[in-house]
Amino acid sequence: MKRYVLFVIALIVTAIYLFPLYWMYITVFKSAAEMFQYPPTFWPQHGESHIWQVFTERGMGKFLWNSFIIACGTTAVTVFVGTGAAYALASVQNRWTGFAIFAVLVLQALPSSLMVTPIFTAFKGLGLLDTPRLAVVIAQITKTLPFYIVLCRASFVQIPRELRDAALVDGASPARAFFGVILPLAVNGILVTAILVFLQSFGEYVYARSLILDDQYQTATVGLSAFIGATKIDWIGIMTYSAVFVTPILIAFMLLQRRIVAGLTAGALK
């Protein structure tokens, strides 16, 4: 009996929490008149869809493509640079690695909105703003790399040290032991963390907004924010844009939910 009371409570709480998401999705299918109706309707009366119209009018294809490219670049470099570091910081534990982890954490702790001014001035001087997508990738990695190292380190910590030592005794070089023995065992954690980095980068806003001056290279978040600034707000358009943008993220999350939760809980507090 108690289990079912708890179940009902949990169901209500979850429904309340997810209500904003529900509201986004039903707004997509409302008509302009219904949109501004008061009291609001909780189910679209004459379902219409503006998905294709918003997609083409707003040039979402281009925006999403830019976001995708930037997210791919960010994820690739983060994984390439971060995996080794996470392994090194997991396998050696002393004062120096302790300090390194602290440094990594502190460097991540600063808001992008504060980092972006010096990055902008420096990148302008270096001429990096001429290749805006690259500039954003470089800037974003400073955010994703610490996050990646901390989470990945947790999955390396769980691999017994003896495995590496055994490989070395068998005559493998340290690099071979890493690529041949350790890395395959950590692949799961690496994949999950990489996907989180990808999603984070896909939805990034500050760096894209501040470093990309040419509209042609702008990302999906900035395309969305351009909607909000308008004096007359097209709510259906905004919600449609948001839904198109966020649905792939939510699907990826749902498919991987279990693993993401396991990966996060292992890494979060270590």
Partner 1 sequence: MKKFLSHFEQRSGFEIALAVFALAYLLVFAGLPLLYNIMLSFQQVDLMEPATLLRPFAGLANYRDIFSRPEMHQVLINTLLFVGLSLFFQVVIGFLLAVLFAQDFPLASFMRGLFLAGWIMPGLVVGVIWKLLFAGDFGVLNHLLLSSGLMHERIFWLSDPSYSLYAVIIANVWLGVPFNMLLLSVGLAAIPGDLYEAAELDGANAFQRFYGITLPMMKATLGAVISLGAIMTMQQFDLIAALTQGGPANSSQVAQYWSWQLSFQTFEVSAGSAVATLMLVLVLIIAVFYVRSTRSERLV
Of positions 216, 228, 231, 232, contacts partner 1 by CB under 8 A: 228
CB 166 within 8 A of CB 131: no
Q: How far is the CB of 252 from partner 1 (least distance, A)?
A: 8
Q: Cα(240)–Cα(22) distance, rounded to whole angstroms?
A: 13
For position 146 contacting partner 1 by CB under 8 A, the verdict is: yes
> 31 or 142: whose CB is closer to partner 1?
142
Of positions 53, 163, 170, 174, contacts partner 1 by CB under 8 A: 174
Q: In the structure encoding, which two tokens stand for residue 249, read together? A: 């993220």
Cis peptide before 132 (omega within 30 of 0): no
| Candidate segments 44-52, 53-61, 170-178, 183-191, binder of partner 1 by CB under 8 A | 170-178
Q: Cα(146)–Cα(106) distance, rounded to whole angstroms?
A: 9
For position 107 contacting partner 1 by CB under 8 A, the verdict is: yes
Of positions 54, 64, 155, 204, contacts partner 1 by CB under 8 A: 204
- If one counts every other C-beta atom within 10 angstroms of the C-beta of residue 109, the result is 8
CB 44 within 8 A of CB 110: no
Of positions 18, 163, 169, 255, contacts partner 1 by CB under 8 A: 18
Angle formed at CA 74 by CA 194 and CA 87, multiple of 5 degrees: 50
- Give how many residues touch partner 1 by CB under 8 A: 101
| Candidate segments 12-20, 46-54, 56-64, 183-191, binder of partner 1 by CB under 8 A | 12-20
